[in-house]
Structure 1
Amino acid sequence: MFGTDNPPRRPWTLRLLSSALVLTAVAAVAGCGGKDSGPVLTVGAGDSAESMMIAEIYAGALSRTGIRAQTRERMGERKELLAALDADTVVAFGDVTGDLLTALDPTAIATKPDAVNSALNGALPEGVVVADPADGTDLRLTVVAATSRPADFPTSLKDLGSRCAELTVGITTGPPLDALRAPLDPQRDVIEPLNTVYHCDIAHPVTFTSDADLRKALSEGEIQLAVLAGPPAFLTDGGADLTPLADPDYAFRAANVLPVLRKAALNDEQLRKLNYVGGELTTTDLADMIRQVRDSGAIPANLARNWLDAHSL
């Protein structure tokens, strides 16, 4: 009636819509409260595409156990990552078995995977543990020949011994593809191990400050063998013009990707998830993702998610 003090009533449909919105908001809060209200686990990464890619894979895997996980990138070198682990700034970071052992115990002599893993566990600082290495990753130093090599050229270092003295061997000493790895020392890292394990006496070593110069010399016949600081698959084009020589007796120390963890920071389910990752990750997969990040500007988190999906992790 005209002149009444009662406020006008809202249309029935508007009241229904308002109620529905309230219920939806409440349901949304209730639905995500379990995951968003807990602590956030941070996985650290160093200053390389490799380190960032591995961190995203680990963080993505952990988030699928029902917790929140994130990465913190460009934290520096291994010593900074270990310090962050000790300070509980991060709960994990990715590393490589042989490289980590060398950093923690420069006197270690183990080279084969099981021996390296055992020595590494004995060298870890107080409060630091590791999960299972990814056996399908092999990031060792690699001796390569050009794909245009003679048909009778050896395909294994084991068969190379008697010919070593006549070959000119190039060794890269420039910045490695992964910033966590130290540049190669030709005598310590290449010449001595090859001589000790395969009786390969390199009489004509030549050093190069970049992988590009090394490959150019190999393709032009200036050298007959080249030594890379890692697998050729990590190179920009995947090393299509290079043929690796097998190292069956591990002249070069085993180098498998693995998670380095703050002790007791993860529960059994989370540890199992990281171990599942270790059972699936391969050199080929990792190299492909690294090249996409480093050379094409791909987003590591997206690549990690796709990889985890593809492996049902």
Structure 2
Amino acid sequence: MKRIATAVAAVMLLSACGGDPLAGSGNNEPAPTDTIVVGSANFPESRLLAEIYAEALSAKGVKVSKKLNIGNRELYYKGVQDGSIDLIPEYTGVLLKHINKDATEVGSDEVYAALKKALPQNLVVLDKSAAEDKDAVVVTKQIAAQYSLKSLDDLVPYCKDLAFGGPPEFQNRPDGLSGLKAKYNCEFKEFKSLDVGGPVTVAGLKDNTVQAANLFTTDYAIKANEFVVLEDPKNVFAAQNVLPLINEKKASQQVRDTLNAISRKIDTKTLLDLNQKLAGPDKPEPEKVAKEWLAGAGI
């Protein structure tokens, strides 16, 4: 519990220092017509991808500004809709579910096609990358051994006895707790509101405060702590390919070509490697890692 309290305090401090880029008067005004405002969610991989987009566009002479670390999809998507944010890295499956909670597509190409149809007229997604970062239910190696867990099917008999941890929005998303209940009849003993794939969730698993949790499959903490990702045979979590979501008015051919070139270069191994760098002992800034990757990728 002490580790969780310390991690919570750290997250609160970061939030207090960084603030909410969409909070306060004037921040929801439309982006300038000559500038692409790049946003990100509130977890490291999203911030890194946003920095990659921003740096690449800036190098091509496109004027950019940044509103990073905004928060969850329920918050930042409103900014994309109202035009105060122009561009943000997204994940196909969860974005589709956000727009259409009844979507049934699970495969990569099917999800991508359905997403393009579901978007409002002022928004478009560009080419999807091969990189996939899925939500997952994760347990420690010890819990996996104790209950003989390899998949979510194996977890079902024990859900009622276990505490689950994850970001607050996981409680209400159709591909969150409600999806686990609908597809696996899994209802946990309790839900503990932690963070978005960050130190609080990792600490909760390690302290056994929660016995299962929501993490992202490209999170370096999974490998570092020998956590076990439970297989999802009933596809609560659809394909989640990384791609840019952008205001159609700002998607010039130059912008499209630049962002599509990035998507062609990013695969899942790339994401894993980049997240490992972000989690390194020196804790480099996402902007630095982004610049180094772009130089190496020749973009």
Q: Specify the SS of the correspondent of 1:141.
A: strand
Match of 1:241 among 226, 235, 246: 226
Identify which range, 100-109 or 65-74, moves more after superposition: 65-74
Give the 3 Å change call, closer, same or farther, for CA 289–108 of structure 1 in structure 2.
Answer: same
1:27 alignment counterpart: none
Specify the structure having the higher radius of gyration (Cα).
1
Structure 1 residue runs of 5 or longer lacking an equivalent are 1-37, 177-181, 196-200
Corresponding letter in the other structure for 2:124: V
Change (3 A) 1:96 1:165: closer
Q: Give the one of 151, 164, 170 matched to 1:183.
A: 170
The CA distance in 2 between the partners of 1:39 and 1:203, in whole Å, is 49
Pick from 208, 213, 219: which aligns with 1:217?
208
> 1:176-214 CA distances to partner (integer Å, 9 max, x unpaired)?
7xxxxx224564132323x2xxxxx54875544442223
- The alignment's TM-score, normalised by the length of structure 2, stands at 0.68
Q: Give the percent of matched residue pairs that are identical in Structure 1 and Structure 2.
A: 23
Q: What does residue range 141-160 of structure 1 map to in structure 2 within 5 Å?
A: 141-144=136-139, 146=141, 155=150, 157=151
Select which of 284, 287, 294 maps to 1:301.
287
Aligned equivalent of 2:64: 69
CA RMSD of aligned residues (A): 3.7
Aligned residues: 255
Question: Which residue does the alignment assign to 1:310?
Answer: 296
Helix, strand or coil at the partner of 1:310:
helix
What pairs up with 1:95-110 in 2 under 5 angstroms? 95-110=90-105
For structure 1, which segment, 283-292 or 66-75, has the greater mean C-alpha deviation from structure 2 after superposition?
283-292
Return the letter of the residue paired with 2:248: K
Q: How big is each residue's C-alpha offset from its partner over 1:55-113, in whole Å with a ceiling of 9 and x where there is no partner?
A: 11111222343434342324455465445445544431112222222221222222332
TM-score, normalised with respect to structure 1: 0.65
Q: Which residue type is aligned with residue 247 of structure 1?
A: D
Q: Which amino acid aligns with 1:190?
A: L
Match of 1:117 among 107, 112, 116: 112
Are the equivalent residues in 1 in contact too, given 2:220–2:272 (CA < 8 A)?
Answer: yes
What are the ranges of 5 or more consecutive residues in structure 2 without an aligned counterpart? 1-32, 195-200
CA distance in 1 between partners of 2:188 and 2:51 (Å): 42
Cα distance in 1 for partners of 2:62, 2:39 equals 17
Q: 1:203 to 1:266 in 2, by over 3 A?
A: closer
